[in-house]
A and B are shown apart, each in its own frame.
Chain A
């Protein structure tokens, strides 16, 4: 048996742990730069705020209905996610952390998975304050489906068996994990509108419609496991750091600052995994939704002579690349840096004429990184990263970083 534990309206639930007054109220959380609604409480869904709705389109509705609106607080969500995963990990010998708010658990050999699922919910709720739903099934696809139903009917924990006709008949084809809207249209055209009728069709004819992937979904739905648990995350091949700017950026100087910052951050990510980068890509683009403005986007990459994790070197290469694609006279909305071909630090191959065999440089970089990691990004940074950072992200309604920053702890009063 496989369980999918999924946090309910995760970002909203995180906010509610520290602001209990939000309980029962409509709440939404906006994406970077306060662009779109990326999380909605059930109350906000009921008012009719769609997932991914641009905030400016629903602003009036939010104000009329007293919706609490927050900028995303990824420091908080990341920390709460870590806590939920840690509690869940005690329930099963095998676990795959699928996303920030979803984990698959391998419950093979558990005699009463349903009651285990209920215990999981209670413990995660009590220990972290986050409500979760648990879906159980013989395969990942069934577990995912069960989770969806568990959320919908408010049961919180539910099991689906592949032979359960009355349940499967009521599931629209689009709601199956791996089908979605587009494939759903094609399947409906051949008369397959629900999960039950879908598994009555032989796998080979499903393949003709949607290829091997859809065939796999069909088998999974019939209880034959095709998707393995990925317990050890695959080491990343690339790491990307990119953000939309808080306001349009025109000058090369500001872009250089931004790209330098993204390079440092991407390098730090790679270093934390013990990886070296073989190359780097820099990209930038204007706001494609502003049709009234001239549009431009471009990207460029280069390979390093030898794999590196030296932020100074990476930053200076990033700036060179940026200058080669920067054009004057555009309003830039976004820029980013991708470190390419990450390899494990130990498998490093040195050049015949090694350029940076310089131990002092190595020690300097180590010290710089150590300071930045321990005392925060503002404690020690390259001049290229800039001081003012006027291009920074807009997060106007962000709540305090309650669990990751000493100066932003939640406050409790003695009396009311």
Chain B
């Protein structure tokens, strides 16, 4: 430790002791946008409701009593846009997992591949859909179709896990 100057260990407020309750970091914002960003952060924090109509003089709309929010399917199905890919399922049915031939699968690579998840995994250089079983330190890839045998997934094969299927879009 130096006597003067430099960083002192344990100085400053402890991490996460702010009003957001989690670590924060500085971000550059164009000056003209500072207020909007602060407002946005505040809204997230306190979940300020949005109302249907703007403030106006005159008769209040009875709908103002109800919260308005546009339902966005993207934000519902895609949690991490940077890590989410769409793939098309092809071949024998995996109906027990709720997937049919031609269905659109939403695949999130940021999700941890844990026991029971339906995953995309490359087997012999080809992308396939399997169910992942993890137990007692071992991993298996189970096809939902009993005609095919389960495949052991060794530790060095973990990189072959491509992503986790989070949603199936099935047209009727």
The chain A residues found within 8 Å of chain B, CB to CB, are 18-23, 82-83, 86-87, 93-94, 126-129, 231, 402-403, 409-416
30 A-B contact pairs sorted by A residue (CB < 8 Å): A18-B127, A20-B127, A21-B122, A21-B125, A21-B126, A83-B83, A87-B82, A93-B28, A126-B109, A127-B80, A127-B109, A129-B109, A409-B104, A411-B87, A411-B90, A412-B87, A412-B120, A413-B126, A414-B89, A414-B92, A414-B94, A414-B128, A414-B143, A414-B145, A415-B92, A415-B128, A415-B143, A415-B145, A416-B124, A416-B128
Question: Is A412 a contact partner of B28 (Cβ separation < 8 A)?
Answer: no
Question: Is B91 a contact partner of A414 (Cβ separation < 8 A)?
Answer: yes
Question: Is A410 a contact partner of B160 (Cβ separation < 8 A)?
Answer: no
Question: Is A412 a contact partner of B90 (Cβ separation < 8 A)?
Answer: yes
Kindly state the separation between the CA atoms of A94 and B90 in the bound complex, as whole angstroms: 43
C-beta contact mask, B122-152 vs A, less than 8 Å → 1, else 0? Answer: 1111111100000000000001110110000
- What's the nearest-Cβ distance from chain B to residue A104, in Å? 14
CB-CB contacts below 8 Å: B85-113 with A: 85-94, 99, 104-105, 109-110
A residues near B110, Cβ cutoff 8 Å: 126-127
Interface status of B26 (Cβ within 8 A of chain A) = yes
CB contact under 8 A between A411 and B88, given known A87-B82, A93-B26: yes
Q: A20-B125, A411-B88, A414-B144 are in contact. List 20 more A-B contacts (CB 8 A).
A: A21-B125, A22-B125, A87-B83, A93-B28, A128-B83, A128-B109, A409-B86, A412-B87, A412-B88, A412-B105, A413-B126, A413-B128, A414-B90, A414-B92, A414-B99, A414-B128, A414-B145, A415-B147, A416-B123, A416-B148
CB-CB contacts below 8 Å: B1-52 with A: 25-28
CB contact under 8 A between A410 and B91, given known A20-B126, A127-B80, A416-B126: no
Provide the main secondary structure of the chain A interface.
mixed
Question: Is B25 a contact partner of A93 (Cβ separation < 8 A)?
Answer: yes
A residues near B104, Cβ cutoff 8 Å: 409
Interface size on B, residues (CB 8 A): 39
Kindly state the separation between the CA atoms of A21 and B147 in the bound complex, as whole angstroms: 24
Question: Is A409 a contact partner of B87 (Cβ separation < 8 A)?
Answer: yes
The chain B residues found within 8 Å of chain A, CB to CB, are 25-28, 80-83, 85-94, 99, 104-105, 109-110, 120, 122-129, 143-145, 147-148, 160, 162
- What's the nearest-Cβ distance from chain B to residue A414, in Å? 5
- What's the nearest-Cβ distance from chain B to residue A73, in Å? 15
Kindly state the separation between the CA atoms of A93 and B24 in the bound complex, as whole angstroms: 11
Question: Is B80 a contact partner of A412 (Cβ separation < 8 A)?
Answer: no
Question: Is B145 a contact partner of A412 (Cβ separation < 8 A)?
Answer: no
Question: Is B129 a contact partner of A413 (Cβ separation < 8 A)?
Answer: yes
- What's the nearest-Cβ distance from chain A to residue B124, in Å? 6
- What's the nearest-Cβ distance from chain B to residue A128, in Å? 7
B residues near A410, Cβ cutoff 8 Å: 85, 87-88, 127
Kindly state the separation between the CA atoms of A399 and B82 in the bound complex, as whole angstroms: 21
A residues near B145, Cβ cutoff 8 Å: 414-415
Most buried by B among A19, A93, A413: A413
Closest B-chain residue to A94, C-beta based? B28
Kindly state the separation between the CA atoms of A19 and B145 in the bound complex, as whole angstroms: 24
A residues near B28, Cβ cutoff 8 Å: 93-94, 231
B residues near A416, Cβ cutoff 8 Å: 123-124, 126, 128, 148
B residues near A18, Cβ cutoff 8 Å: 127
Closest A-chain residue to B81, C-beta based? A86
B residues near A412, Cβ cutoff 8 Å: 87-90, 105, 120, 127-129
A residues near B85, Cβ cutoff 8 Å: 402-403, 410
- What's the nearest-Cβ distance from chain B to residue A220, in Å? 23
